[in-house]
């Protein structure tokens, strides 16, 4: 796969995996103590140019219900940490649009020509949608357009910093402390 992954992405991925290694080793134990299901969740998603990639996460659900450990994993985005391995494989970048399933693309109605630009960039482990999205397809698309239009080192640095704050303090607090003004972008 041709990739636009930067040296910075690779260095951050390696550093994050090393720094969080103790937590990454504890998470499987916590998942198993919470319930006896599998530790990992794998899902086929669409990456750059809609090429299929397998996205691995720590399992946070049992059936249709979020587990106790899963609630914490999702709040801190630690369930997504295995995606740093996809950066090392050149399939994802640190910052970019979230990789989606084909079902997500159909449900969101993001398969039309007006969404082509979204599929021309490498998907990211984190991005504006991962931090601020989830309220509606229209809101998420606005966030995607901001990223695609305003993509810069400054915006990527801000997203990385906010993602680190999410990992430390959770999404709810981060969104409260650092609200996103869509009018400003």
Is 132 a residue whose pLDDT tops 80? yes
Distances (CA, A) of 1 to 27, 48, 61, 89: 31, 9, 31, 9
Distances (CA, A) of 36 to 29, 61, 71: 10, 12, 16
pLDDT tens-place string over residues 95-129: 999 999 999 999 999 999 999 999 999 999 999 99
pLDDT tens-place string over residues 1-14: 444 678 999 999 99
Is residue 48 a contact partner of residue 121, using CB atoms and an 8 Å limit?
yes
- Looking at residue 182, its pLDDT comes to 59
pTM equals: 0.84
- What token pair was written down for 158? 């801000």
pLDDT tens-place string over residues 19-44: 999 999 999 999 999 988 899 999 99
Strand pairing partners for 53? 45
- Looking at residue 181, its pLDDT comes to 73
**CB count in 10 Å sphere of residue 53:** 19
pLDDT tens-place string over residues 145-163: 999 998 888 899 999 999 9
- Rounded mean pLDDT of 58-85? 93
- Rounded mean pLDDT of 81-90? 94
pLDDT, averaged across the chain: 91
- Looking at residue 125, its pLDDT comes to 94
- What token pair was written down for 161? 């910093």
- Looking at residue 99, its pLDDT comes to 94
- Looking at residue 185, its pLDDT comes to 56
- Looking at residue 1, its pLDDT comes to 43
Is 183 a residue whose pLDDT tops 60? no
């Amino acid at each position: 796969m041709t990739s636009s992954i930067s040296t910075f992405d690779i260095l951050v991925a390696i550093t994050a995996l090393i720094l969080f290694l103790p937590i990454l080793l504890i998470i499987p134990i916590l998942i198993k103590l919470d319930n006896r299901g599998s530790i990992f969740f794998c899902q086929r998603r669409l990456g750059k140019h809609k090429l299929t990639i397998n996205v691995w996460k720590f399992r946070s659900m049992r059936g249709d219900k979020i587990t106790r450990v899963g609630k914490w994993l999702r709040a801190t985005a630690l369930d997504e940490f295995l995606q740093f391995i996809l950066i090392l494989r050149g399939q994802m970048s640190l910052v970019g649009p979230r990789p989606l399933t084909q079902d997500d693309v159909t449900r969101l109605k993001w398969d039309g020509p007006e969404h082509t630009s979204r599929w021309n960039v490498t998907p990211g482990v984190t991005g504006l949608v991962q931090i601020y999205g989830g309220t509606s397809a229209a809101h998420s698309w606005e966030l995607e357009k901001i990223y695609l239009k305003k993509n810069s080192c400054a915006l990527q640095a801000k997203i990385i910093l906010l993602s680190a704050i999410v990992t430390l303090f959770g999404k709810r607090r981060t969104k409260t402390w650092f609200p996103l003004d869509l009018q400003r972008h």
